Amino acid sequence: MLQSQTLPDARREFIAAHFDATPKTRALPADASPRRYYRIEVAPKLLMEVEPGTPDFEAFVRISRHLNALGLSAPRIFSVDFERGLALIEDFGHGTFTRLLAAGRSEEELYGLAVDALIHLHQAPGATRIDVPTYDHGPLFDELAMFTDWFVPQCAPDCDAAVFKDRFLGLWKSALTDVATCRDALVLRDYHVDNLMVIEGREGVSACGLLDFQDALIGSAAYDLVSLTQDARRDIDPALEERLIERYLAGRPGLDRQRFLSEYWLLAAHRHTKILGNFERLSKRDGKHGYLIHLPRVARLLDKALTRAGLDDIRAVMDAALPSWRDHAPAASISSPTSEAGRTP
């Protein structure tokens, strides 16, 4: 019988099983993820819908429960049907950091809350005792391949992509040797203002709502701070970035400061390289052209990070093979709507 149900039928049946009368629902705007959300009007709950068999669905449920057990606020899972790809989850409301910042809320306050939540996560006993993959050379290089496979052909169509990729990844392999062995923290990976919310009525770090953590890995504690303070979609004052780094380090006085800052800038360069490739991939493969408007910002961030991380050899290879990489801004980035450019994948 399940096989013959359409997905809307399955959705209605799932919701009806949890309410006396089937409530009205409203679809929320889509983003880069394959998940769809429907706000249930009579309760602070959302229906999350994925294609049955989606690999990260089980991870979302498991990691959400783990984060809540650590004293953080991920959406609580009220009910889940893995076979049909449906879950009833907590609705945090409308207060994303992005909306609150646009409405004039203090950057210092919001970013400070996000840093404090990271400190809590990174110091919580048992935070890394969860069955998720490690952020080793496998995922690190899969992400760099987005740059070589998607950004390079668009930026320099005449480049010998195979030769460039071999040289480029060889240099990155050496640069990432130490950080690929880090097992310091549960890395949420998309920790930025689009994926953070203020939950009214909660105090301390529990007031920070966490979204999009299903791809979490075990790796360096520096990664999520980079995601927060070097955002691909909005400019952040360098002075604020420095204060946030210092706030994090003050909250973790036992850290090796120099090692942390070295990982911070190395992973910043890696992340921005990945994002340049991923934004091109989202445009060319998925028709989501709105992400292209952010390429100039990401290129500027990458240029700075390469300098701060001392990756002059990688920059030299890029400059030789991709002379226009800093200025690459497809026309679509100017003319395309950006409504779909929500969360960074």
Residue 7: the pLDDT is: 52
User: What integer best gives the mean pLDDT of the chain?
Assistant: 91
Of 35, 41, 95, 27, which Cα lies nearest the Cα of 61? 35
User: What does the alpha-carbon distance between residue 257 and residue 268 come to, in Å, rounded to a whole number?
Assistant: 16
Instruction: State yes or no: pLDDT of 102 exceeds 60.
Output: yes
Instruction: State yes or no: pLDDT of 340 exceeds 50.
Output: no
User: What does the alpha-carbon distance between residue 221 and residue 179 come to, in Å, rounded to a whole number?
Assistant: 10
Q: Supply the angle between the helices 312-321 and 161-175 in degrees, to the nearest 10.
A: 170
- pLDDT, tens only, 135-158: 999 999 999 999 999 999 999 999
Map residue 95 onto helix, strand or coil. coil
- pLDDT, tens only, 15-54: 878 887 667 788 887 665 678 888 887 788 999 999 888 8
The upper half-sphere exposure of residue 99, i.e. CA atoms within 13 Å in the direction of its Cβ, equals 8
- pLDDT, tens only, 224-240: 999 999 999 999 999 99
Q: Supply the angle between the helices 137-146 and 161-175 in degrees, to the nearest 10.
A: 140
- 226, 305, 308, 318 from 312: Cα distances, Å: 20, 10, 10, 10
- pLDDT, tens only, 190-210: 999 999 999 999 999 999 999
Residue 33: the pLDDT is: 66
Residue 62: the pLDDT is: 96
Instruction: State yes or no: pLDDT of 334 exceeds 90.
Output: no
- DSSP string for 191-256: -SGGGEEE-TT--GGGGEEE---TT-EEE-THHHHHHHHS-SSS---HHHHHHHHHHHHHH-TTS-
With beta carbons less than 8 A apart as the criterion, state whether 42 and 19 touch.
Answer: yes
Position 9 confidence tier, pLDDT thresholds 50, 70, 90: confident
Q: Which residues contact 118 (CB under 8 A, 6 or more apart)?
A: 191, 221, 224, 225, 228, 248
**Residue 168: exposed, middle, or buried by beta-carbon count in 10 A (0-12, 13-18, 19+)?**
buried
- pLDDT, tens only, 77-98: 999 999 999 999 999 999 999 9
User: What does the alpha-carbon distance between residue 18 and residue 46 come to, in Å, rounded to a whole number?
Assistant: 12
- 8, 10, 36 from 4: Cα distances, Å: 12, 10, 21
pTM: 0.90
- pLDDT, tens only, 157-180: 999 999 999 999 999 999 999 999
